[in-house]
Amino acid sequence: MIRLEKVSFSYLPGVEVLKDVTLEVREGDFLAVMGENGAGKTTLIKHFNGLLKPTQGRVLVDDVDTGSATVAELSRKVGLVFQNPDHQLFSETVEDEIAFALKNFGFNRAEIEERTDQVLRLLSLEEYRQASPLTLSGGEKKRVALASVLAWDPKYLIIDEPTIGQDYEQKSNLRKFLSEISREGRTVVVVTHDVEFVAECSCKILLMAAGRVIASGPVEEVLTDRELIKKGALTLPQLVEVFDPLSRLGFPKAVFGVEEASELLMENLRRLKRG
Amino acid sequence: MIEIEELVYTYPEAGKPALKDVNLQIRKGEFVVLAGPSGCGKTTLCRCLNGLIPHFYGGDLSGKIQVAQLDVLSHPTRELAQHVGLVFQNPENQLFSLTVERDVAFGLENLGLPPAEIRRRIDWALEAVGIGKLKDSAPHELSGGEQQKAAIACVLAMRPSVMVFDEPTSFLDPASAKSIMETVAKLNRELGITVLMVEHRLEMALKHASRMVVMEKGGILADGDPREILSGAAEKLRGIGIPKVAELHRLLAEKNLIPPPVSLSPEEFSAKLMEALNR
């Protein structure tokens, strides 16, 4: 479990970016951190692996205070994929990029090879094995950054803005992938603005505004609450916008998928028309 | 305003062309949304419009590219910059000065404009994107949406007749993204600026668009009215991420439950649905 107790943080004296945040990320959680630009989301997750230490309060990763552990020790458990892959990638080939952390964590050559193969396959990057990360598109770089972290098999996987630069199909693959590793028991935390992406993940949302956690709850609750949507600078998912006014006719509010929506409407439209 | 004929382009040392036989005519005042899966050539096409390709990137190019009556191949980027402005994904990569005003001034100073004209244009551009009050702020202190507006002001101040946006809202929260879309729509409507926008958030972009172009594998797959394109066969458009209301509308229209063409926004769809219910 990652536990934040009354955490406050300032980059500059007097300007608090996180304000008195208390939360728990439990093992097996699938969590989406959402909220406006500048709400403190990235600052929050940088506390999870000790990259940032709280100005006040404390952060415990499996009962170890991040103040008394090194980032290297914490990273073995808490893998963080940065928002901008250019800040993370530096090797000459995709393969070397993935091997780098594995070598540092002391994996042997056979293990490195096996894990590299595995993550390249998982993220559809096999054809880029020998390519320079710098020549890849933004979306591909993002997947390489994810692969390089996933390779050392961290217990907690934290990803900052995984959908940026990914097209529709890649996003849908990513959603399936994250849902699957979450079902297998890995703890997954994503920071994202992508309402439609989150709407179809079965995850919990942690909503932030101005350095505080202002709400937390399942997707069906948070993404149908107009008040919270406004406070978090989000927009309602498109289909919720459609179904919200229909709720007085007995339709559910929390409809996120097109198939579900069309079935609901097809079943009921004829009935309502006759009525 | 933009005329592209039989454009074929290959990046240096690339095995196959990134653009294959692209033909595209965009008239003055249009708002065109350019969609398509990753790697289909959208960004490459944008780079051709202000001469970054081929002047900066090199590579092999054949065909014709004309923007604002200028032949891109025979005019330097510096000259083209006054006619066509590019705005990119991440505003942080575009801003570098200590104040917003300095950032907007940078391009204008490079044009060698007199100081009074520079001041006039800065004020005008910042007002046009709605951040007049932030003139003296430091770019890094602004929100993501404000930063992107500042980046747009930098380009707008050059008074281009065409503005090209390459995924301008990717890094922004939905509320800021919506505000950027509205700002661009206003520049298009009120100043008559021709807009070409690459965007994955079609649910936000299409309602402002007069036309939609879909690319695939370096070529153009569809070109026309967004409602008509999205009302057509869904299969070939799978990769672009059809907005959920449009897809829902299409499925119901197939069963004759509501009439085509598809809706582009939830409001539009709800209105059509109510109409169908009351008929």
- The Cα B233–Cα B218 span in angstroms is 20
Measured between CA atoms, the residue of chain A closest to residue B166 is: A165
The average pLDDT across A143-161 equals 94
- The Cα B250–Cα B57 span in angstroms is 41
Segment A180-229, tens digit of pLDDT: 999 999 999 999 999 999 999 989 999 999 999 999 999 999 999 999 99
Residue A230 dihedral angles phi and psi, to the nearest 5°: -70, -45
Q: Which residues from B are below 8 Å from A164, CB to CB?
A: 89, 170-171
**Amino acid B39: pLDDT:** 82
Q: Which residues from B are below 8 Å from A200, CB to CB?
A: none
- The Cα A82–Cα A88 span in angstroms is 7
pLDDT grade for B77, boundaries at 50, 70 and 90:
confident
CB contact (8 A) between residue B245 and residue A242: yes
Measured between CA atoms, the residue of chain A closest to residue B273 is: A269
- The Cα B156–Cα B129 span in angstroms is 9
- The Cα B279–Cα B276 span in angstroms is 5
- The Cα A114–Cα A97 span in angstroms is 15
pLDDT grade for B94, boundaries at 50, 70 and 90:
confident
- The Cα B55–Cα B48 span in angstroms is 9
Single-letter residue type at A116:
T
CB contact (8 A) between residue B143 and residue A168: no
The average pLDDT across A107-133 equals 93
**Amino acid B156: pLDDT:** 93
The average pLDDT across A82-107 equals 88
Lookup: tokens for B14? 């690339």
- The Cα B185–Cα B195 span in angstroms is 9
Whether A20 shows a pLDDT value over 70: the answer reads yes
- The Cα A129–Cα A120 span in angstroms is 8
The average pLDDT across B233-250 equals 83
What percent of chain A has a predicted confidence (pLDDT) above 70?
A: 99
Measure the CA angle with vertex A235, ends A231 and A241; round to 5°: 120
Whether A269 shows a pLDDT value over 80: the answer reads no
Best of B46, B57, B147, B173 to disrupt the A interface by mutation (most A CBs within 10 Å)? B173
CB contact (8 A) between residue A37 and residue B252: no
Return the domain boundaries, chain A.
2-227, 237-275
Q: Which of the two residues, B165 and A267, has the higher pLDDT score?
A: B165
ipTM confidence score:
0.84
pLDDT grade for A257, boundaries at 50, 70 and 90:
very high
Whether A18 shows a pLDDT value over 70: the answer reads yes
pTM for the whole structure: 0.88
CB contact (8 A) between residue B251 and residue A139: no
Q: Which of the two residues, B111 and A220, has the higher pLDDT score?
A: A220
Chain B nearest C-alpha distance from A196 (Å):
9
CB B251, CB A262: distance < 8 Å: yes
- The Cα B40–Cα A120 span in angstroms is 22
Helix axes B244-254, A258-274, angle to 10 degrees: 50
Cis? peptide before B261, omega within 30° of 0: yes
DSSP chain B: -EEEEEEEEE-TT-SS-SEEEEEEEE-TT-EEEEE--TTSSHHHHHHHHTTIIIIIT--EEEEEEEETTEEGGGS-HHHHTTTEEEE-S-GGGT--SSSHHHHHHHHHHHTT--HHHHHHHHHHHHHHTT-GGGTTS-GGGS-HHHHHHHHHHHHHTT--SEEEEESTTTTS-HHHHHHHHHHHHHHHHHH--EEEEE-S-HHHHGGG-SEEEEEETTEEEEEE-HHHHHHS-SGGGGGG---HHHHHHHHHHHTTSS-SSPPSSHHHHHHHHHHHHH-
Whether A172 shows a pLDDT value over 60: the answer reads yes
- The Cα A178–Cα A146 span in angstroms is 11
- Across the interface, which of A171, A238, A272 has its CB nearest the CB of B266? A238
- The Cα A118–Cα A59 span in angstroms is 32
pLDDT grade for A275, boundaries at 50, 70 and 90:
low
Whether B111 shows a pLDDT value over 90: the answer reads no
**Amino acid B234: pLDDT:** 67
Measured between CA atoms, the residue of chain A closest to residue B140 is: A38
Q: Minimal CA–CA distance to A48: which of A160, A126, A138, A142?
A: A160
Q: Minimal CA–CA distance to B260: which of B217, B213, B225?
A: B225
Q: Provide the sign of the torsion angle of the four alpha carbons B263, B268, B271, B275, taken in this order.
A: negative
- Across the interface, which of B144, B178, B251 has its CB nearest the CB of A262? B251
Q: For domain A2-227, which CATH number applies: 3.30.10.20, 3.40.50.300, 1.10.510.10, 3.40.50.720? A: 3.40.50.300
Per-chain mean pLDDT for chain A: 92
Q: Which residues from B are below 8 Å from A192, CB to CB?
A: none
Pairing assessment for the beta strands A212-218 and B219-224 based on DSSP bridges:
unpaired
**Amino acid A13: pLDDT:** 86
The average pLDDT across B194-222 equals 94
Chain A nearest C-alpha distance from B192 (Å):
29
Whether B224 shows a pLDDT value over 70: the answer reads yes
